[in-house]
Amino acid sequence: MSKEEAREEVNEEIKIKGNSVSPAVIKRLPRYFRYLRELIRSGKMRISSGELSELMHVTASQIRQDLNCFGGFGQQGYGYNVNYLYTRICEILGVGEGFSAIVIGAGNLGRALVRNPMFEKRGVDIVGMFDVSPDVIGITVAGNTVRNMEELEAFCGEHQVDIAVLTLPKDHALSVAERLIALGIKGIWNFTGKELDHLHPDTVVENVHIGDSLMTLCYELRTRDERKEEEK
């Protein structure tokens, strides 16, 4: 089956279900991806929703509901074929679609992201890095030479770019995002700390706030200590 045929099949399954997949379900799909990948590495061939529930700490009912949004993939009395389910989750998430990305901002965070193998593992190819600082322009990070931002338009005219990863100062986030949209880039992964929503109907933005995750952890630590005090 070609990529185009697989994509159409996945899209058709979603349409059959009413195209009402909630954001919460979508956000859980990468967890399925990670756990299924580990099961494949361990040689596990099939798994029940109950077994997957124990691994992921999500109820078996929730797992079945999530996967039913996309057609189910399981068999009564058999469970799930791990390789097949992993393949279908990859198709739904767009892993292997051949997306290419550029990173805007070659500071510590930008360089760390480019060196991280997550892009390759998820089928996203980093094809360029850009910055305005003479201190980093020209250096090579994981095989990518940092280019001057003045080259952005020419580069995007010569290369396919699907995703832009923003790791630049937040004060410049909006102007750079608008510049990227004008170049036809459809996906923005935004680490700047500035909310970039409703920029363009054809542009998908994922705002990442690392500080929010840290504060969530701090909250859990604080409330855990409070619960322990109450139990005394």
**CA–CA dist 135, 37 (Å, integer):** 40
Give the residue range(s) of CATH 3.40.50.720 domains in the chain: 100-212
Q: What is the pTM of this model?
A: 0.82
From first to last of its 232 residues, what are the pLDDT tens digits of the chain? 555 555 555 555 544 344 568 888 998 999 999 999 999 999 999 999 999 999 999 999 999 999 888 876 866 667 899 999 999 999 999 998 899 999 999 999 999 999 999 999 899 999 999 999 999 999 999 999 999 999 999 999 999 999 999 999 999 999 999 999 999 999 999 999 999 988 999 999 999 999 999 999 999 998 987 777 777 6
| DSSP for residue 172 | G
- pLDDT of 117 reads 94
CATH of domain 100-212: 3.40.50.720
- pLDDT of 184 reads 95
- SS3 of residue 182 by DSSP: helix
8 Å CB contact between 162 and 181: no
- pLDDT of 14 reads 47
- Assign a CATH topology to domain 3-93: Arc Repressor Mutant, subunit A (1.10.10)
- pLDDT of 55 reads 93
163: β partners? 101, 187
- pLDDT of 33 reads 94
- pLDDT of 96 reads 83
- pLDDT of 15 reads 46
8 Å CB contact between 183 and 156: yes
**CA–CA dist 222, 187 (Å, integer):** 36
Phi/psi of residue 81, each to 5°?
Answer: -75, 115
- pLDDT of 227 reads 76
